[in-house]
Structure 1
């Protein structure tokens, strides 16, 4: 059955799905693998989530003219945003849009694309913090956008900034919990970084099964992805660098022991008894 989603010119339909979850948890690697399939389009984070927020605000009651906008019109406007953004530049039959915000927008996405699925990439939180701090230290001569290009502070300041509710980790973590326990959880799959890098064939097979697409033979020894220009502009060259071969990294943490231990028990998705919505965790 073809998913109702973005209509291309002609009779063919384009399916839309979403990549979300926690930072530094494999979303770029997942996109790099998905784009090996000539039927798919996937990339790093797009601006669409922010554009959806702006449009929702402009169509809300803070605008006195919103009385002329019905919910059906809101749905059409938001769906049209995707149509306009992707347009004819992408010949793909299946589009994956990436943003950490999508987990917080599951009710909106369900209203626009009721057959869409969201793949939430996760990782043990201690190693997420380690990955960010490793990138900061690697680019010590280039202040990062992640911390508003501030040059002062320590790993403790940076960790607090990431972990608070508005931080790049805290917000996405809370958004993931909202989606995991919310009423639209049937549209969510949790993909662990640990599975993706150690058993990519099983991980990708689960993704295809979840979105209802026929299997595709991926090449895990020749992965291609280039975001060098974007990374350089953010002050973090190599931030989205993907290794040519999918492999599990083996390394010691750069974090002080107390910071690493702080997040050891935050992988709530591993608690089967608490998975009351039956979310698929791979």
Structure 2
């Protein structure tokens, strides 16, 4: 029996790695940090597009089979698992494809106040001050906190792309597939959040250990020159702190949490209401 497939997406620095680390405690589940599956799907779609002169020989059924084959091949080592969660920020922009391939799939969207996302990334950059971060394309982008946040917020970059994709999914006709999970609530009350999570997925509850969470990908993080990017603290808790962003930058990004505003979206929400 093939495992169920669900997806973890949403915004960076918003708890997706923490959520995956917790889900891995359940022996029925497989989850991890972002995988190459989304990028492989994109490459395959491009290879089968009209830009390829041989695309006339590829039927819709063959396209579906080849895209589906990427998932089957990549997750063959986890075939004994009951549920697989694939993580990638681009899945919010692929809801129609997900619907066609996996009609029962859900998309878990990790969200967080964008000002604190920028704060979190800036802290990592400063923590690795002797390394040149690969998040930025040139010295001009790396120059100051203002140029760094401006670069990250562009539409095709780390924060900007994820934000736009999430917004597209939130207001789409497939929004009922979404479950938005606020990082602050997950960190403050992981037991309650995961209880609601299991209800949404219609899975049997599992007793998680919130005092001994383990996950790290040092080799991947070192390639980006951002040590600690995916290292999860062993105890799940919300750490209160003062922002290191200049006040004007914090204000600029602080009001972007569109998911807290009433709308006609059918997305499911585990999010804090604005104060």
149 and 95 in structure 1: CA distance in 2 versus 1, 3 angstrom threshold: farther
Q: Which sections of structure 1, spanning at least 5 residues, go unmatched?
A: 1-11
Partner residue, 2:26: 37
TM-score by length of 2: 0.95
TM-score by length of 1: 0.92
Partner residue, 2:225: 235
Q: Using the alignment, how far apart are the partners of 1:211 and 1:146 within structure 2? A: 34
Partner residue, 1:281: 269
Q: What pairs with 1:122-137 in structure 2 (closer than 5 Å)?
A: 122-137=111-126
Q: What pairs with 1:243-282 in structure 2 (closer than 5 Å)?
A: 243-272=233-262, 274=263, 276-282=264-270
More moved, 202-211 vs 20-29: 202-211
Q: 1:28·1:240 contact (CA, 8 Å) conserved in 2?
A: yes
Equivalenced residue count is: 269
Q: Which sections of structure 2, spanning at least 5 residues, go unmatched?
A: 271-275
Partner residue, 2:45: 56
Deviation at 1:70, TM superposition (A): 2.0
Moved over 6 A (4+): none
Deviations 1:27-78 (A, max 9, x none): 0000000000000000000001110001001111111221222222211111
More moved, 144-153 vs 18-27: 144-153
Partner residue, 1:200: 190
SS at 2:6 equivalent: strand
More moved, 31-40 vs 147-156: 147-156
Deviations 1:83-134 (A, max 9, x none): 0011135531111010111111111111111111100000001000000001
Q: Using the alignment, how far apart are the partners of 2:210 and 2:139 within structure 1? A: 38
Q: 1:143·1:149 contact (CA, 8 Å) conserved in 2?
A: no
Q: 2:30·2:78 contact (CA, 8 Å) conserved in 1?
A: no
Q: 1:130·1:255 contact (CA, 8 Å) conserved in 2?
A: yes
